[in-house]
Amino acid sequence: MNLRSRRLAWYRWAGIDGFGVATLRRLEAVFGSLETAWRTPLPVLQQ
């Protein structure tokens, strides 16, 4: 993933109320990237 894609994914998630830096870093650690996390079905994210 290039820097532009990574930045866009970061802004997409950061636009959700209640999502801060710690949450975004956790998502990135679990899913490998924020883009992958974005494409993950909601039931999987809720686990």
Domain extent listing, the chain? 3-40
**Mean pLDDT along residues 10-25:** 93
Local confidence band at 42 (pLDDT 50, 70, 90 cut-offs): very high
CA–CA separation, 7 and 41 (whole Å): 21
- Dig out the tokens for 25 from the structure: 């870093």
pLDDT at 2: 86
**Mean pLDDT along residues 7-26:** 92
Contact between 10 and 19 under an 8 Å Cβ cutoff? The reply is no
